[in-house]
Each structure stands twice: as structure tokens, then as C-alpha cells.
Structure 1
Amino acid sequence: MNIRQCTICEANDAGYAPRVNPRLCGDCQDWDDLLHVNFCRERSEAHAPLNPVSFCYKHNPDWPPSRKGNYSELKDLEFFSHEHFATRRHCIMCSAVGDALDKASSEGGDGQETKIAVWRPFIFDPGKNQWNVRDEQTAMEKGMVPWFQKCVLAVCVATTPTGEDSWSYQPRIMEFILRYEKWCYDLSHIAPWVRQVMDTNQIKRWLHRCVHEHGEECSTLRIPSSISLPRGFRLIDVHERRVVLPQSQVEYVALSYVWSMASNSPEKQSLQLHSENTEYLEMPHSLTDSILPEVVADAIHLCVEIGQRYLWVDRFCIIQDDLDLKAEQIDAMGVIYDRAFLTIVALGDGPTTGLVGLSCRPRQQGFQNWSWDLLPTMSNPVGEARIPLIDRALSESAWNDRAWTFQERALSKRKVYFDAGQVYGGCTRERWQEKPEDVDEGEWSKSEAWEIQELNDRLWDFSQDSFAVYSGIISHFSPRKLSFPNDILRAFAGVVNALELQLKRPILLGHPEEFFTKSLSWVPQPGFMATRRVLENVPSWSWASWDSKATWDNDWTIAPGIYLAATISGLKASFVNFHVSDPKEGLRPVKERHQPLEDYLVEQKRAALKVIKEAAAAWWPSSISSDPVAIEVGELDELIKHVWDWAHRKAQDDDGAWPPSTLQIPRSERLHELSEVATAFTALRNLEQTIDTRWWPPTVAKDLETYQQLEKLSAEARALAEERPNSLIFNTTCAHLRVGPFGRMWFKIPPRRNLSGCAIQNKDGIPVGITMAMAPQLTFDMFQKGRECLVALLGICSAKRWMQWDKGERSILPPHHVKEMCLFVMIMEEKDGVCQRLAVGVVYVDEWMNLQPQWRTLVLA
């Protein structure tokens, strides 16, 4: 281990008399050597085995454990009262802890008793000097003696009402600077570590480097410059302290915050720009600190300190009672944040409002941990106090939990984040983190806390024309919270505008029309609760109609023993022609780029032929040497005819079953030890489904007139759709089926993860398909006792299977991958001719054919 020798243990091992530090009492002598008080005591199990997570800042609730279990309880520590420390004022450690206890008692108020226990120290050492500098000579050469070590001391404060014995135990921290006269030993002084104010020159250096070194990477607009800022665009002039209407394009800073956390004062919180106070707030020096919400006042101070004159804040730059102008500006918020030079972010955590850490809003010094993650010794032999990394700080913040702040994070070029105990920042190229005072700039830039690497806070490359971009955005946005659920799509409007402009494709109620059928396959996040929102003009088919994280799983893994035991992969082909009842344009077609059915059928045909040729050679015509994978598409049908006729004759000669669908081979996840006949019939059954496409009537229409009749929407359904804005209308095959839990309601997919799905059953109670995986409670709420639902066909998926032979002569065959066709369906409830989405699922093609589904025009609202 690359660490210096502990002087106390070294003396003990050599048989020397222990060194005594006169500044410390007998109980605190271990503090005379910093390595001994944390590492050696940990190794000798002198520290109580507590869980460090309870002492950490809330940003890291899942910190890796220091042991597998059997943690001690806080109450098992050794506690001391004021009287104990009062008799040891000569000890610099007892004096420091006693002063802190006195402060805790005064903050708690009269009428309660207080005592304290010291657990162990955690060292703030970003340069890992204690690891790297092993001897005092090296430390002296580097100017490290005397050594000032910043330390976070984990303590527990116990309180009880005076005269009672019901103690409450709270994990707390104390921040100290320890002065050692030698290299980490000979403790001479302890002082509070004061971190109240950040040096804002750091922010200026971050921004200067970004502007002058990063070039277009950090200056390119998400939204084209041809899209202008909205009319009535106002700013705060921080020099003149008033709201202004800029007469030309100016550089400005934007503020992003949680509206409800702008101030604790009802009077300040209620102050906004209205028609009656616009004239007053446009007067010089009208925006004084005394009337402004703290977060706004602090943002003005920061702009002055970093040399920015103009600030945009929604509540003071949008006239709140001018509804038309307000709606226009809200819809343009994506443009506003995209154009901003910098966005100041108030993460909303901590004991006070505002931008904590500025000179006008210093951090509070106290026992509460607003800054530190405390690493157990399995990660660092001396125990490490680390500032939470920026990713964790953002992901666990109140600000990041809100839907409205999503577009602000995604579209802003540069951001500076204010947390309760730390300031962070980032651009497209770098992530930034506040450097503590007295830490060397070069040393800090090499530490884990800094990590000069991409923090792609803008989150996605909108220029990519792919479904993955869209689904990633929705999966991040959909679980965020709203004070008013009706705002769900408005809060997403800025990102929608950016997507539509970059991809040159329309977005329909949060769904990209280009990938429309695939986007309809969203599911509430499996394993978690989800509830339906009843919102005006938000239809059931949109993910926005559910309060849940929307996901698009590429694979649905169905539990063994269930009828559909397979891995169901994503949509392979789409063929339904959707129309939408557009509130502005009326009934119009959805501009979907269909995933071609014919391409998928060709792929399936080649795969089935390959299995026959390579794993069931007797069922392959000996006169044909063509490779089914390489043969031209135009020759494929002729090849299939030869193979089919050959197989038909062989089945008759062998007195075998025919057609292939009559051979009921269990649909298990793997097909083990199949005979040559069973192998051939499995592949032929797949081939049969690609040839007989009666499951989708337009593909077998014999003439143009019949085809056009199939595509025609019924007049009755059109009338229903036109009465319901944002409803979908489309033709498809559908059937009424029973949907309900399997024999036992719950099952687990995969092990240890509670999920549930439902069987889709025919009139005889035989499963013909399965729904998406859902949280058990959602299954219980929607399909508890089973219910009859309308099931409608939307597209095609694949069920992936393996053929494998382990024994006998056929063991020399390589495993084969079989992709059996499944139909992607939507499960709906129908009332008065109008449907609502309940879930999505899959059914097998042959089972769907046996149901004799009906061709109908459906309205999905």
C-alpha cells in the first residue's frame, strides 16, 4: 500500500515509550497522527462499524457499503455532555468539539438536553498527498510542512426534552482544519473550516476558457437563428435595476429555478410582472433586493460580478396577465434558453433560498451535511471526504425533478449550478466544480472532482435522425413532476420545437410522426407504479396521458412456462395508415415513414430457408444449390415454390402431417434436440406465415377496387374522430379477447424484479398472446379479474428462438437462430364507438388467424 508509516504504531512496534502531545488529553492522543486516527484505528476495529451513508449528503443515498452488514447503531456510540468537555478545555480537540456542542445546544433552544459522540474523521485530500508523499523529507522539499489538513468529522448529536430519557440520534458532521507541525503528525491547532463564500473569479475563468477555446462546439445554436426571439421580449438591466425592452440584440444570462422555491417570503414570492406594475418596474432602481425573491436578487448580483448586464427571469420578463403574449413567450422558452450566453441554475436544495455561496448569500456553517459524500475505507485507506460529483448533484436535485426545467437544461449552452454547499458548471466540452480555497489550481484540475471531460448537459445530438434520440429524450423527461399536469406538453414544447427544426419532421403530442407506430409501443416503466392522467386534449395513446416514465424496451423477456415464452424484440414492420383529428387542420394523415412489411417478410423467408438447407437437408431439393441468403429478391419466390413443393411431396411419402402449421411444436425459448422432421416443420411453419398474409387484408386484395375499399375510413368513425380533437382514426383487423393475469397474478422477470403481465386469451380461455410487462399494482388495477377488451393489430415484432442440438449425430450442427413472427397489438377499451389505450402486447400470427379478426375503422381518443 502506497502510504506513509504511522508514527504511533511505529513507536509501539519498536518498543518505544509513546509520544505525548501536551495539547491533547489522554483520550485524544490518537489525533496526534492523522493516519493513526483514521486508518490504524479502522484496521484495529477501534472505530464503531457504522454505515457512512447516513452521514453523507443526500446526493449519494446508494454509496457503496464499507461492509456487508451488521452495522452498529448510532445509540451505541460513546456520548459526552457539556460537563465532560468543560473539564478538558486544555485539549484542543475536546475544546473544538465542546464549542460545537455548545452551538448545537443553542440552536436547539431551551428545554432540551444535548450530548455528542465522535465517530471518525474523513480527509479532504483531492491531490491524495497522504498516499503519494511517504516521508517527511519529501514533504519538506515540497513545502508541505507544517501540514494543514482539511477534515470532515462524522459525529452524532443526541437530544431529548429536559427531564426525559427518550433520546433522538442524528448523524452530523463538523468541518475542521488541522495544523500538524510535522508531516501529518504533531497536531498543534484546530480551527473551523470556513467555506461560506465562493470566489466568483472561478466562474469568469470557466466562461473565458469556454468562449475562447471551445469554438463552435459550445456556441452552435440548437434552434436555427432564423427563429427569432418572441415579441415583447424583455430583460432585467442589472446595472439600472429595472425591466427593459432591448432595442437590439444583446448578450444576456437566463435564470433557471423552481418557481415555488424562489423565496420563503409570501410577499416576495407573489411579485411578478403584470400590466399594472409594468410601468413601475421599468423605472430605474425599482428592482431592489428588499422586494425581489432571493434567487432573483442573487442572480442580479452574480451578473454584476461576472460582467454581464442583462438577465432574463420568467416572472419579471413575461407579463403574466397578458395571456396571448404569455402563451407566445412560454412556447418560445426553448429559443430563449438556447440564445442565452449563460444559464444560472438554482438547484433548490439546502436550508435557504437563493444562490448560496455568493458574497451576498454566504453558506451557513453548522452540523448539517450540505456538501460531503464520505467514502468508506474500502475505497480509501485513510477515509475520504469528497464533494458529490456533478452528475449526482444534478440528478438528485429538486430542480432536476421538475418538468419545466428539462428544456432549460437540454437547450442551454453553458450553465452554472448553485447547490447548498457547492457550485458546479458545465458546457458541451467540460464540467466544472468549485475549487476550495488554498487548493492548488493544477492539483484540483487533475482530481476526480474536476474531471475535464464532456458533460453533455444538452443531453442529445438532435441532428441524428433516429428513434433512439427521441426515446432517450422522452425517457428522461416523462418521469419529471409538474404542479399542474395540464402543462405536460407545454413544458416539453421547447424541445419539440428543436426536434422538429433539426429533424424536419413533425412531432404529434410528443410522438414523432416519422416513427409513429413504433412510438405507440411505449410502456410505463416496468416494475414501478404508474397512474393515468385525465387531461384535456391529451389522448390515451400519448405517453403524456400517464404519470410515469415512458420506456421503449427493445426486448420483452417473458417468463419460462408461459405460453409466449420468448424474447420479443421491437417493431420490425408497420403498415397501419393513421389519421389524426388535428385541432387546426382537421382530419389529416399522419406522416409516418413505414418500416416496409415486404422487406421484413423477405428477411423472414431467407431465415426459414437457411434453417431447412443447413439443419434439415433431406427437406431441401437436392437439385438446388442456391444460397437463400444471397439469392436475388426476384428469384426468392421461385425458390420457395420449389422448396415448398419438395417438402409437400416428402411429407406425403413419409406419411407426415401437412400443412406445417398442423405440427404443434411447443413454443419454448430454445428448441433442443429437434429431429430433422421437427426442424424442417418449424422452419416451414415460419415460411408459411410469410406466404399466407391474410392477417393483413390489404396484402391479399385481388384488385384495386377492393384495396381502396379496405383503405377507406368509415363515415361514422370519421364523424366521431372529428368531434374529438387529437384522436386517431385508422383501419385494422381487431378482435374482442379476454385479458387477465396468468394463473398466479404475479411473476418475476428477471429474478428479483417484480413484474407482471397479462395473458391475452381467446373465447376458450387459451392464451394467444401476452401484454407488456407492468408493475404488479398496475396489472391489478387494470386487469385484476380479467376483462374483455378490443385488441387491434398495429405492426409486426419478432420472437427470437434458438435451435440447438447437443447429442447424437446432429450435435455437429451449429445452433440456428429462428425469428418467429408476432403481431404487435394494442389492447383497448371501447365505449360508444370510441377506444382508449390500456396496454400493448403481442400475439402469434397463426393464433390471430384462427380468431378470424374483423376489419374495422377504429377511433382512438
Structure 2
Amino acid sequence: MKPATYDSCQVCATLWELFTRDGYHVHIELPYLDGPPDEFCPGHDSFLQYMRKTLPGYVDNKLHFWKARPGEPVSLLPHPTIWFAICEPPEESQLPCYGRILDPDWIDVELIKGWMKDCITFHGDTCANPIGVPPVSPQWLIDTQEACIVPGKGIPDYVALSYRWGASNGLWGERGSLEIEALRKPGALAEAQIAQIIPPTMADALKLVEAIGERYLWVDAICIDQNDEAHLNQQFEIMGAIYASAKLTIVATDGDATSGIKGLKGISASRDLQQDIIPLFEHFKIVRTLACDFRNIPVSAGNSRKIEEDEHFLRYSEQGAEYFRRGWTHQEFHLSKRRLIFYRGQIFWMCTCVNWYEDWIQETTDCPKFQYRRGIGLQDSLLLKGIPILGNLSAVLADYNSREHSYPEDALPGIMGLLSILSRTFEGGFLCGLPESCFDAALMWRAGEHSTPTRRRMTLKKNSTALASLLPSWSWVGWHTPGLHMAEGENFRVTPFEACKTVPITQWFTHESPHSDSKRPIESTWFRFRKNMEISPASLPPGWVHRKERKRDGLPPNTVCSDVANKIGYDPRHIYCLEESLDYEFVSPTIFIHDGPLDAKDIVKTFELDL
């Protein structure tokens, strides 16, 4: 039912079409809202007052709104943090998503349970193991029903917690004499002397796991004995697989371990949420949706420095979430297959198939998947498909290496889990963060060009583990850099820019310690792998053609790319193209599925080469 002011007010008519119409690239300009008070319309007056209060001086003559994709909220241009969604739209609108008015105090736990059920029911194997990591069992898990720790072997379904330690030391720092055996006794974690030293975020997570119908929880500060170096290093190495194997990861971005997970009725304190709800027309309301990088709202839109400094940008964007600036949380977040994110008092769901948001009501089976915008999406990366692209590795490491550690020497342990997983792509694994298979090329890493200076990492702990003390000057782990580039141009795609080809001139060796007499040669297999790529296979995978055979309205071969290929030593006879995208040339036939421009996320399989 259209509002009463639809026929008499052009602004109301335009707003109605904007909020109830679905489609791609809807761009609407509202005409001259800044008029005399007696010309204000009761249909949209509250909306205009909100805009003037929210952005003083911004509403001068015209407002420009944008809807980029079906199901997305309405965006004010060019401001990247002002987004609205209509609540309870009329049936004729057929919107797949619309706004939800939230309880200011409590999160609906049933919504979380519904998300979990829908993911398992509708997404099946797609979300079961998207990274393809062989499942691992943590050495210890918390049995939330028995309030104690139990051996993790044989327990496939468990929840993991990702959070910031902050000033907390978990159980081990404050009770140095505490032993694992003391926590194995049923009810141990509920005993007063232990319960009082469990940080609030961990305590809330224990109860939340039970509330959503799960039983086992993995928390590093409780399930890893921080005083056992051998156990600690072993768990560091499989930590990436621990998060990848977890049925669900609770991501607590608000505060740190001492802050708790607010908004869980009967478990924690009220979240005290302030949601902007604006009346529109006679019977409708719109809500301002929370803008953040892990939903279909790009806070990076627009280039205005004024916007970046605006208090509203700080209020509604990731700028205030310290979680995303800490090193340890990088692999925890990216490798988790299902994430329940607590951010700014609201909850979000991210899995391989969809993103769901508390302040949106969405169709369960028809929601657009949106790639997390911060850094590179590892689950969609070529690296996890077996393609050793150094450019992609640089992007992952740059995102990680720009983050902070309380102890700089944790730079290597903090990413060991992820590097262990990437070792299946880079033969021979990693040596202090550099892939051994292309060690010569990787040694040529450089820092990015940023205003923030690169600084040397130095050991701060008095009693560091052997793993944590590895901060060599020849590796990026020895330096904190806001940007990182590794052997730029060493690529499988033939491009006219920054193409290069590294040639080995020496044999590198590694020692167990600086004073060790024994040494091990570093096997750089990259060059043999690249050489094999230049050998024409007997038959090409479906969808691939030799560059010289491509046919597209008489399109000639790319002479620029051919010249580049000749200069860096690639045999033009062994350059390949995709029939669906003949403008791209590769030195390895790789199978892609296309949906728009060629992108890393489209790869599904690689042509297997005999190494």
C-alpha cells in the first residue's frame, strides 16, 4: 500500500520507489530537500531531520542514493557509512532482504541456532571443509556440560573461540602451578578458585556453546599449556587446522578477553545497543544498518579524506575494532569455515556460501555471497587450490604483517598454522616465513610504500621459545611492514607489467642454530616446476586453447604479452588462453569457471603437473 503522500509529494514517491524496488545499480536523486519549514512533508520530514542531525551541513540541496545489488540496503552517496533498509515492506515489493528492529538489550540466541541449522541443511559439503584441510583434533577440549577439559581425540564437532587476549593471561599466567590434570576433574572449571580467574569472554563463550546446543569448546588460553614448550609449539603448528576443523568459530571482536560477550540474556550484561530507527510515511520505519567490511556494505567506498575523519565513520566502521589489527587473529578469522561474529553489539554470520546479519531479515536460500573485503579471502584464494602464486601469497602476508603483536617475536608463531596449510601448495614448506620451493625469489621481498615506516622486530620476552625467537633480518618476519611485496612479476599469467623471471645462482643452506655444524640444503623446486609448465601437455583441459589457436572475431595474438614472454624466457608456443576469456594469457593451463571478470575466486581446479 503506497503512502498517502505518494501522489502529492515527489520526494515521498521517489523514496517509496527507492526502498521498495529491487534491482541492480539503482541510482536516485532526491530533489531539493532543503526548503522552508512550511514546505516540509509529514511523509518524509522525520527522515530529513535525521539526515540533518546525523550529517550537519551535508544536506544542502540534493541527496543521492544508490543500490548496487538486489537485496542490498540503500546507500547515501558518496558517504560510505550511511545505509538504510526498510522494515516490514509491503508484499508487492518482493524484497529478498529488509531491515530488522533489534532488541536493544539482548541477542536472539534462536537466530544463531537457525543460522547454524540452515547452513548445515542447505550448504552441506560446501561449508563442511571449504579449505580442504584434513581434520585435526586439538589435544584438549572443554566439555561445557562437565565443566572440565577432556582429550580432543575422537571428538569431531567442537566450537572454537577467536578473541584478543588483551591484558589477560588466561589461566596459566596467574596460576603458574596450575596443571592440566587439575582441569580434567569434572566440575573443575566451575570451582570458585578456578572460575574466578577465567576471563569474562571465555566464561561467556562456555555458556553460549551450551545455549546453541553444542558441547565442546576450544580456547587457546585454557586448552594449551602455556608452560609446556613442546606442547605449545606443536599446537602452534596445527592451530590453523584447529580453526579450520571447528564446526563454528565464535569471533569476539568487541574489546578483549576481559570485556565479555555482551547481550546474551542469562549469561552476560546487556549490550545496550543504540539502533537508529527512523519513521517513514505513515506506517513504515527504516533502520540504519551497521556498515562493516565483512558484510555487503563496503566502508571503503568513496575517497574523501573528510569522510575518513568523520566521527560517524569511526562509529560505524572497523576502525574501532582492535581485533582486526592484531596478528594472532588473522589466521583464526580467515581459516574458520563458519564464523559467528560479535561486532559493535550485533551478530553476523559468515560461511562459504552466504553472509547473514542480525539487522537484516534475509531469505535463507537466496542470499548473495559477498567476499570479505579486508585483505584477501583465503577460502577463495588460488593458494588453497594448489596454485603457488607469489602475488597472492604476498597479499596474505602483507595483511598479516601490517598487524601488531604484543610481543614482536610472536610474528612467526602467529601465522605458523596458516603456513602449515599453505605448505601443501609450496613444496617443502616455509623457512622463517619464506617458501623453500622458491626461496631465491622470496628472498627478494620488499616493504610497501606507505607513510608508516618499516621497523625491526626485536625480542621482548625474557624466556622466549625457540620458535618465537626466530626474527631473522633476511625474512619479513624480522620486520613490521605496512605493505609487503614478494618477487613481483613471478606469475603464471603473462602480463605486460612487472613481469620477471628469477634465475638461481647459488645453493642456500639452513642450520638448526647459528652455531650448528650440520646444515641442510634448501631445495628450490620452483624453477623445475616452472620449467615443467613450459612443456606442452599432450591434451589440454576443457575450455583451454593454445594462444596461437585462439579465435575471436579475427582477434590477433597479444603482441605486447608475447614480447614480454620472450624477454623473460617463456616459450610463446606454450602460452594458453581460456576460450571464454581470450584476452588473458597464461603459462599454465588452469581450469576456471567464469561469472563475470576473471578473478582468483573463480578457480576450481588446477591442471596437475608431474613434479
CA distance 1:568–1:342, shift in 2 (3 Å): closer
Opposite residue 125 of structure 1, the aligned amino acid is: I
Q: Which residue of 2 aligns with 1:542?
A: 475
Match of 2:415 among 468, 473, 492: 492
Once the 2 structures are TM-superposed, how far is the Cα of residue 319 of structure 1 from its aligned partner? Answer: 1.6
Q: 2:150 aligns with which of 232, 239, 244?
A: 244
Q: Are 1:287 and 2:189 matched, yes or no?
A: yes
Aligned to 2:604: none
Residue 36 of structure 1 aligns with which residue?
A: 45
In the alignment, what sits opposite 2:519? 586
Q: Quote the offset at 1:65 in angstroms.
A: 7.6
My pick for the range that moved more, 275-284 or 195-204, is 275-284
Query: C-alpha displacement at 1:282, in angstroms?
Result: 2.6
Task: Report the TM-score, using the length of structure 2 for normalisation.
Answer: 0.60
Q: Specify the alignment match of 1:299 in structure 2.
A: 205
The answer on 1:529 being equivalent to 2:446 is: no
Whole-angstrom CA distance in 2 between matches of 1:39 and 1:460? 44
1:803 alignment counterpart: none
Which residue in 2 is equivalent to 1:385?
288
1:554-597: per-residue Cα shift (whole Å, max 9, x none)?
579xxxxxxxxxx9623224232331223276141432422899
| Deviations 1:426-454, CA, capped at 9 Å, x for gaps | 11111121256xx6x54x987xxx64556
Using a 3 Å threshold, how does the CA distance of structure 1 residues 209 and 10 change in structure 2: closer, same or farther?
Answer: closer
- Is 1:125–2:86 an aligned residue pair? yes
- Provide, for residues 801-824 of structure 1, a one-character-per-residue CA deviation record: whole Å limited to 9, x for no partner: xxxxxxxxxxxxxxxxxxxxxxxx
Distance 2:355 2:54 in 1: 39
Structure 2 distance, partners of 1:326, 1:597, is: 37
Of 346, 365, 388, the residue aligned with 2:252 is 346
Kindly indicate whether residue 213 of structure 2 is the aligned counterpart of residue 276 of structure 1: no
Runs of 5+ unmatched residues, structure 2: 11-35, 61-73, 279-284, 300-315, 459-468, 491-495, 534-546, 549-559, 571-611
Matches within 5 A, 1:304-343: 304-343=210-249
Distance in 2 separating the partners of 1:333 and 1:257: 14
Distance (Å, rounded) in 2 between the aligned partners of 1:224 and 1:257: 22
Amino acid at match of 1:583: E
Quote how far apart the aligned CAs of 1:405 are: 1.4
Q: CA RMSD in A?
A: 5.0
Partner of 2:349: 425
Matched, 1:365 2:294: no
Query: Taking structure 1 as reference, are residues 599 and 361 closer, same or farther at Cα in structure 2, changes over 3 Å only?
Result: closer
1:3 CA drift (Å):
8.0
**Partner of 1:243: helix, strand, or coil?**
strand
Q: For the residues of structure 2 that align with 1:66 and 1:506, how far apart are their CA atoms?
A: 46
Matched ranges for 1:464-543 at <5 A: 464-467=386-389, 468-535=391-458, 537-543=470-476
Give the secondary-structure state (helix, strand or coil) at the position aligned to 2:340.
strand
Contact 1:223 1:498 in 2 (8 A): no
Structure 1 partner of 2:381: 460
Q: Superposed, which structure 2 residues align to 1:391-790 within 5 Å?
A: 391=295, 396=319, 397-435=321-359, 442=363, 451-452=368-369, 458=379, 460-461=381-382, 462-467=384-389, 468-535=391-458, 537-548=470-481, 549-552=483-486, 554=488, 569-583=498-512, 586-594=519-527
Aligned equivalent of 1:198, options 99, 102, 107: 107
Q: Higher RCO, 1 or 2 (CA under 8 Å, sep at least 6)?
A: 2
SS in 2 for 1:255: strand
Pick which of 494-503 and 286-295 moved more.
286-295
Asked if the contact 2:435/2:442 (under 8 Å) is kept, the reply is yes
Q: CA deviation at 1:797?
A: 10
1:126 Cα offset (Å): 5.1
In 2 relative to 1, CA 473–196 (structure 1 residues): closer, same or farther, beyond 3 Å? same
Query: Which residues of structure 1 form unaligned runs of 5+?
Result: 12-26, 53-62, 69-120, 134-148, 151-176, 178-192, 375-381, 557-566, 601-628, 631-669, 671-682, 691-795, 799-861
CA spacing shift, 1:516–1:132, aligned 2, 3 Å: same
Instruction: Say if 1:402 and 1:482, in contact at 8 Å, map to a contact too.
Output: yes
Distance 2:59 2:45 in 1: 21
Pair 1:515–1:280, CA change in 2 (3 A): closer
Where 2:217 maps in the other structure, the secondary structure is strand
Cα gap change, 1:511 to 1:129, in 2 (>3 Å): farther
SS at match of 1:196: coil
How far the C-alpha of 1:253 sits from its partner, in A, is: 0.9
Mapped partners of 1:284, 1:599: distance in 2: 58
Post-superposition Cα deviations, 1:207-245, rounded to whole Å, max 9, x if no partner, equal 2222233232222274653x8546xx1111111112223
- Tell me the distance in 1 between the aligned counterparts of 2:227 and 2:141: 17
1:550 partner amino acid: L
- Matches of 1:529 and 1:473 in 2, distance apart? 19
Is contact 1:423-1:434 (8 Å) kept? yes
Q: State the alpha-carbon separation in 2 of the partners of residues 273 and 506 from structure 1.
A: 37
How far did residue 495 of structure 1 move? Answer: 1.0
Could you tell me how far 1:129 is from its partner in structure 2?
A: 5.8
Instruction: Classify 1:420/1:10 alpha carbon distance in 2 versus 1 (closer, same or farther; 3 Å).
Output: closer
Write the distance in 1 (CA, Å) between the matches of 2:457 and 2:338: 37
Q: Indicate the structure (1 or 2) with the bigger Cα radius of gyration.
A: 1
Q: Which moved more, 1:207-216 or 1:345-354?
A: 345-354
Contact 2:171 2:197 in 1 (8 A): no
Cα distance in 1 for partners of 2:219, 2:257 equals 23
Q: CA deviation at 1:398?
A: 1.8
User: What is the alpha-carbon distance in structure 1 between the residues aligned to residue 347 and residue 407 of structure 2?
Assistant: 30
Q: Tell me which amino acid in the other structure corresponds to 2:423.
A: E
CA contact (8 A) 2:446 2:485 kept: yes
Question: How far, CA to CA, are the matches of 1:229 and 1:219 in structure 2?
Answer: 15
Change in Cα spacing, 1:275 to 1:336, as seen in structure 2 (3 Å) is farther
The structure carrying a bigger strand percent of its residues is: 1
Q: What percentage of aligned pairs have identical amino acids? A: 23
What is the CA–CA distance in structure 2 between the aligned matches of 1:250 and 1:197, rounded to whole Å?
31
Q: Secondary structure at the match of 1:571?
A: coil
Deviation readout 1:246-295 (Å, 9 max, x if unpaired): 46334211111111166xxx9x7876675534344333333236442111
Alignment partners' CA distance in 2, 1:291 and 1:31: 59
Aligned residues: 444
Report if aligned partners of 1:407, 1:492 keep a CA contact under 8 Å in 2.
Answer: yes
- The separation in 2 between residues aligned to 1:351 and 1:587, in whole angstroms, is 42
Q: Is the 8 A contact 1:554 1:569 kept in 2?
A: yes
Change (3 A) 1:66 1:210: closer
> What SS is found at the alignment partner of 2:161?
strand
Secondary structure of 2:499's aligned partner = strand
**Matches of 1:351 and 1:411, distance apart in 2:** 21
CA distance in 2, matches of 1:313, 1:46: 40
* Counterpart-to-counterpart distance in 1, 2:411 and 2:475: 11
Contact 1:570 1:797 in 2 (8 A): no
